[in-house]
Structure 1
Amino acid sequence: MVNSVKMVLGIVLLSAMAGCTSDPKSGWGFTLPEGDAERGKATFVELKCNACHTVAGVELDPVHSEEVGTVVLGGKKGYVVTYGELVTSIINPSHRFAFGYESEQIKDGEVSKMRLYNDEMTVTQLADLVTFLQQHYEVEIYVPTPFVPYY
């Protein structure tokens, strides 16, 4: 009995240790250079991101697009929108799709309608753009509805 408990504990310990090794494709340790929000706003307009996106709390001249409806960036969310998520959404827009929009508005099959900017955007522009967008997200703390019993 004692040996089987030791064996189970050993397996659990080895499994936990194996989970601590990082995957070579992990984003751990990745960061862009410090960005500038004002330049990021200018990049947002220069790359015509405002053809398909608005940014909560920011006045931008709309650019009309026939292909995609307006996807709102920023605003209150029930979770933290991380730096890595924003970078990934920009450089790999088909990685995950926005909730709350009709599929036809944001994708063709399993591919995002957002064009790829990887060959036309500099690393500095990407860092500036992420800095600009990140400051417009706010975490909304969930407040449960109080329980009121019926009598």
Structure 2
Amino acid sequence: MKVTLLAISVVCLACMGCTADPKSAAGFTLPDGDVQRGQDTFAQLQCYACHSVTDIEFDAVETSEEIVKLGGKTTRVRTYGDLVTSIINPSHRFAVGYADEAIKVDGQSKMRLYNNEMTVQQLIDLVAFLQSQYTVEQYQPTPYIPYY
């Protein structure tokens, strides 16, 4: 019985790669982008109408929309995969800390889709710019006195 369970386990582990999701992001890599061109793209597309970036000022735009903050200190790395997905599929995940009505309508992001307006190079540069705006802070566990 033990040999059979072991054999089944080995076969299952070996086949895990065989059943990979075809929509997996594994193997997806962007070339390096240019941070300054990304900042220029952010300004050209007027992303600042709905987003602020820590420590960077853009032209003031009157809007009734709530400004979603980007950049700053975070406890997790914002990967290019996270950022690309947020740009090309903004309804994939919603910003935390904002009222639903401020960021979505009928379950969809209020963010305009730029997929037909932005070049691939602009996307690459925009991601490089946004990624450069985050500072990862090491998680500091709460110190406690051990129980004996």
Q: What residue number does 1:63 align with?
A: 61
Alignment of 1:48-59 (within 5 A): 48-59=46-57
Q: What residue number does 1:95 align with?
A: 92
- Percent identity between matched residues is 55
Q: Deviations over 1:17-40 (max 9, x none)?
A: 222233221111222332111010
Q: What residue number does 1:35 align with?
A: 33
Q: Deviations over 1:62-103 (max 9, x none)?
A: 32222x211111111121111101000000000010101111
Question: 1:104 & 1:118 partners in 2: Cα distance?
Answer: 24
1:120 is the counterpart of 2:117: yes
* Structure 1: gaps of 5 or more residues: none
Q: Deviations over 1:94-145 (max 9, x none)?
A: 0010101111110002100000000000001000100000011122211122
Give secondary structure in 1 for the equivalent of 2:60.
Answer: coil
Give secondary structure in 1 for the equivalent of 2:90.
Answer: coil
Give secondary structure in 2 for the equivalent of 1:61.
Answer: coil
8 Å Cα contact 1:53-1:73 kept in structure 2: yes
8 Å Cα contact 1:33-1:124 kept in structure 2: no
Out of 84, 91, 95, which is 2:81 matched to?
84
8 Å Cα contact 1:32-1:123 kept in structure 2: no
Question: 1:143 & 1:54 partners in 2: Cα distance?
Answer: 27
Give secondary structure in 1 for the equivalent of 2:96.
Answer: coil
Q: What residue number does 1:137 align with?
A: 134
* Structure 2: gaps of 5 or more residues: none
Question: 1:9 & 1:76 partners in 2: Cα distance?
Answer: 46
CA RMSD across the alignment = 1.5
Aligned amino acid, residue 48 of structure 1: Q
8 Å Cα contact 1:40-1:129 kept in structure 2: yes
Question: 1:125 & 1:142 partners in 2: Cα distance?
Answer: 33
Q: 1:36 to 1:17 in 2, by over 3 A?
A: same
- Normalized against structure 1, the TM-score is what? 0.89
Question: 1:6 & 1:128 partners in 2: Cα distance?
Answer: 54
Q: 1:104 to 1:12 in 2, by over 3 A?
A: same
| More displaced 10-residue stretch of structure 1: 19-28 or 31-40 | 19-28
